[in-house]
A and B are shown apart, each in its own frame.
Chain A
Amino acid sequence: MPSLAEQQRAFAAALLDPSLPVPAGLVDPEGRACPRRFAVYRNNVATALIEALETSFPAVRRLVGEAFFREAALRFAVAEPPGSPVLLEYGAGFPAFLELFGPAASLPYLPDVARIERAWVEAHHAEDATPLDPAALASVSPDRVGEIRFAMHPSLRTVRSRYPALTIWRMNVADGIPGPVALDAEGEDALVLRPEAEVCVRFIPPGGSNLLDALARGVPLGAATEAAMQDRADFDLASHLSGLLESGAFIGFSL
């Protein structure tokens, strides 16, 4: 008789791979083999994992339709089952999976829409923190502004896209109305943030992502601005900074 651990390994493997036979010794009340009964467990596992992804990626689901989504989600779940019982963490690898998923190749923006949704889930469950009161910066003397290092809000995420992914996402969540989108239009970067109770998703104007990524690495404001100007020579720090302060992107700063 195999050990319980070996039995459970075989049971689990057969759950995730329907081409494997039902493990021996599983029986109905008359002691007969009963693949339909085992199939209940297969179906439960597949449905639970697909639904966990459906909850986290509603716009992707709407874009590709239910049947397509379930097939993609199941293949992802088999390749990358959850590593923890905390399912709200599940799906971090789904955007990258979609990127390599052949049947989705005609929707090049799909992985970036998925990245926005993933960032939304992470922001939703991130640690709570009170945004920095912009008035606090008034105490910094103008000659030292370039030395400011900001502490970023723990919920802050940025998503860069070569496609109008944020416009597409907005059209496909809640009461969004899908409409024509020029895919060759300029790419859109998104700022995903939950300063208070609700997650807010905003457009990041050009150059802003470089600024934010540098600040998040602990680069002081002066050097971070230079990084942004590499992207946009006409980068206007004042308008970006006031936008970020107003969004609640920072929770503190140091000099």
Chain B
Amino acid sequence: MSRDLNKLPHRAGVGLKPQHYAAVLEGRPPIGFFEVHAENYMGAGGPPHRYLTAIREHYPLSLHGVGLSIGADRPLDRNHLLRLKALIDRYEPGAFSEHLAWSTHGRAFLDDLLPLPYTTKTLNCVARHIDEVQEALGRQMLLENPSTYIAFAESTWSEVEFIAEVERRTGCALLLDVNNVFVSCTNQAWNLLEYIERFPMSQVRQIHLAGHARDVDDAGRTLLIDSHDRAVDESVWALYEQALARLGPVPTLIEWDAQVPEWTELAREALRADSTLLASGRGPVVSSCGEEQYRAVAR
């Protein structure tokens, strides 16, 4: 049932924000694709649909869900699946992705991507929900690795093994959020290069890049926050090159959701991702930032 309809170009894309609708339609910048949060286009009509329809005529689209709550131990919201199906039928996106996370409590939606214990129980729940999503949407979905700030003492799987097993059981594709890898490895004191080496790269259909903020935890250890409110960090660009060296070129999105900058600044980030992609297509890339630097941040 998991038809592979993923067809984004191997280029850089940008998260589409309402403040950039006009700049995009008037200037038609050379961007590989745009991505939108599905939930922002679930109204019946109005300007959001009007602009997205116009932009979709000129660009491939990636649909990114933030509300399905795949990791919640309760039945998926069938109405939400129907809304997603309607959006997919209407806009025919080149990819549909969701998160390895949960966000619902009873009838309440908590609007954050909350962490999961990596246990076999959780795995069964997540795999069952992804089967249901792919069945309802009639296509393969991409599952995104999370950014996390705490661990569960009861976890028995590593995150990478957990994700690989979900992929194996459900046949879903993967979205590798390189910033999330960097944030989680730093926060959880995981080995960054090991994460990238063990990640099931053959199933990765899209990459996300974003900015993060810096805080400290109870013990004074660096705690990175997945804030999406600034430019992509140099350390994340370096890790991106490492990932591409294993992967080859993959559709890559610049996410910038808060403190959204002028269009030109976003376009510059996309240009840098495009150049990196181009370089990765020509063969292995030598990272400008070595392993030592990753270790220093993770310590």
The chain A residues found within 8 Å of chain B, CB to CB, are 1, 3-5, 7-9, 11-13, 15-16, 25-38, 40-41, 44-45, 48-49, 52, 81-88, 123-129, 154-155, 194, 197-198
Contact = CB atoms under 8 A, between A and B. Distances in A.
Contacts of B150: 26-28, 34, 37-38, 41
B94 interface: no
A125 B48 contact: yes
B125 A4 contact: yes
A66 to B, nearest CB: 16
B46 interface: yes
Given A8-B73, A26-B152, A85-B103, A45 B111 contact: yes
Contacts of A36: 216-218, 223
B168 to A, nearest CB: 21
A46 B83 CA distance: 26
10 pairs of A and B residues whose beta carbons are closest in the complex: A85-B67, A125-B43, A12-B105, A128-B45, A29-B189, A4-B73, A81-B108, A5-B73, A48-B111, A127-B44
Interface in B205-264: 215-219, 221, 223, 225
Given A4-B73, A4-B122, A82-B109, A37 B223 contact: yes
B80 A85 contact: yes
A16 B111 CA distance: 12
A7 B50 CA distance: 42
Contacts of B112: 15, 41, 44-45, 48
Contacts of A83: 107-109
Contact of B219 (A4, A30, A154): A30
A28 B188 CA distance: 7
Contacts of B83: 86
A35 B218 contact: yes
B266 interface: no
B47 A197 contact: yes
A235 to B, nearest CB: 33
Interface in B29-84: 39-40, 42-50, 66-69, 72-74, 77, 80, 83
Contact of B221 (A1, A28, A48, A49): A28
Given A11-B114, A37-B218, A154-B45, 10 more contacts: A9-B106, A16-B110, A26-B153, A29-B151, A37-B217, A84-B77, A85-B104, A86-B42, A88-B39, A154-B44
B138 interface: no
Nearest to A26: B150
Given A27-B151, A40-B215, A124-B46, A88 B114 contact: no
Nearest to A9: B105
B90 interface: no
A81 B109 contact: yes
B111 A87 contact: yes
Most chain B beta carbons < 10 A, residue from A15, A40, A82, A124? A40
